[in-house]
Amino acid sequence: MANQNEETNQSGEGLVPPPQIPPDGLWENCLYAMWRTPLGLIGVATTTISIVLMLIGLALDMLGLVENPYFAALCYMILPGFMVVGLLIIPLACYVNRKQWLKDSLGAHLDDKSLCIDLSNPRHKKYMVGFTALTVLNVAILTIIGYEAYHFTDSPYFCGKLCHKVMAPEYTAYMRSPHSKVKCVECHIGPGASWFVKAKISGLRQVVAVFTDNFSRPIPAPVHHLRPARDTCEECHWPEKFHGEKVKKFYSFSNKDQENPEVQEISLHIGGQNPVTEKFEGIHWHVSSDVKVEYQPLDDRRTKIGKIKVTHADGVTEEYDIGHGDETETAGEEHEWRTMDCIDCHNRPTHVNDRMMERVDFGLLSRRIDPGLEGIREDSITVLEKEYTSREEAEELMIKTLIELQAGRHGKAYVDENGELLVKAGQFLLETWMNNVWPGMKITWGTYRQHLGHQDADDGFGCFRCHNDEHTTNIGKVIPQDCDLCHDEPE
């Protein structure tokens, strides 16, 4: 009778053995391992639960019913990992059970010890159809989730919200910048697979740093491994196009006169390729195809510049240094050469932090701070300069502090009379402070500054890093500190 059962199992016909009895055939043994062994059940349950949760999460995300970066990360990054692990556990369970089956079946026929697919056997055909259907379904689900995961990880929402503690300052500046409609990856990664892979590998290192709380406060700037601007910025911008001159106005008030601003107008020589002379001129000459400018930064912030090399279209190269004796700053040292591009001047093109005085003056100009409130400019500066231990403390105390300062100047009756205007001014100051200061990240006024112009020249920022009358060639040619090179009075 036992031999008869064995023959019917080998031919693929007859009844499958009862569940409590381990099957004799290798195909039946694999299926048994999937459904009847603890390891197999773990694999099947992990895969099934992950798929169900992923599909529910995908539907909720696409319908916009849940907007949470951690929820999206769970759906598109964590659950797919569990699904893949579950799919790997299933064949592992079959393999483990198969080894035990072979050990217990040493006397069986050799054909029983290998997985042979016989499509003429109805049972084998059923197994193959089921296996193929499940494989196609799993691949389709992983493809859809992978596609959504790719777009999620490339979104500003992912960059700015998932690592909120670290990226909040940069994301806040980005959201109010002229590039707020440009995705982070378009500048930080750009097109092409190689830079995509490099960025994702670097991203993994940054994720580990966040989880271990081992990251710099504040985040160092500039980013030293940023892709060249010619591969990113110039996808949209065209520095060689002739822009001519642009008139810019600067408004500033003083504590003595809060009503009438001092207006300074300058005409910026942006330049480009002049259509009349066909020569490159103006500020954008530095990044034109007519010239190649290279330099050696002497510090991480690129505020101190050593040697400068200018290669002209005719192949002539000029090299400038700070003096040409044995006691120069660069003598005996090797520094990396960097080719100048847009980011060397527009070093904060998207993550622009405000200057405190300019924001106070803007408040007066826009009348969000009423200039009729005597002493309000000086008190506003005092409020913004005050150190608050946290953003929560600033929200609680800033408006109150402004009112107290005004009460100290004019008395309680003045404050009661102008209470609404003072609250309005305080709200503007609080908004300004919250956009620029993060005590937890050690970011305050002036932490991040721009190289545009020369407002912070005393600290090494701006044009005077090179245009300082100190960089000369060995024949005495100098890079001049001539204001008229970049701007003059409007006509």
pLDDT tens digit string along 274-315?
888 888 889 999 998 889 999 999 998 999 999 999 999 888
- Within a domain: 452: no
Give the CA-trace dihedral at 348, 352, 356, 362, to 10 degrees.
130
Nearest 5°: phi and psi at 51?
A: -65, -45
- Within a domain: 92: yes
Say whether pLDDT at 433 is over 90: yes
Are 334 and 473 found together in one domain?
Answer: yes
Span of 35-49, 242-256, 379-393, 432-446 with lowest mean pLDDT:
35-49
Are 148 and 293 found together in one domain?
Answer: no
Say whether pLDDT at 20 is over 70: no
Are 260 and 333 found together in one domain?
Answer: yes
Which band of pLDDT confidence, cut at 50, 70 and 90, is reported for residue 387?
very high
The closest of 369, 356, 370, 371 to 256, measured between CA atoms, is: 371
Say whether pLDDT at 9 is over 80: no
| Tokens found for residue 59 | 């539907």
pTM of the model: 0.78
| Tokens found for residue 136 | 């196609």
Host domain of residue 390: 356-441
Are 435 and 300 found together in one domain?
Answer: no
Are 31 and 149 found together in one domain?
Answer: yes
Q: Give the per-residue pLDDT at 114.
A: 54
Total of domains in the chain: 4
Are 381 and 300 found together in one domain?
Answer: no
Say whether pLDDT at 120 is over 70: yes
Looking at every residue in the chain, the average pLDDT score rounds to 84
**What are the residue ranges of helices labelled H in 297-372?**
356-365
- Within a domain: 28: yes
- Within a domain: 228: no
Which band of pLDDT confidence, cut at 50, 70 and 90, is reported for residue 102?
low
Strand partners, 250: 264
Are 149 and 160 found together in one domain?
Answer: no
Spatial CB neighbours of 305, under 8 Å, sequence gap ≥ 6 = 295, 296, 297, 298, 465, 466, 471
Are 21 and 126 found together in one domain?
Answer: yes
Domain endpoint, select from 174, 202, 219: 219
Three-state DSSP class for residue 174: helix
Domain endpoint, select from 219, 254, 269: 219
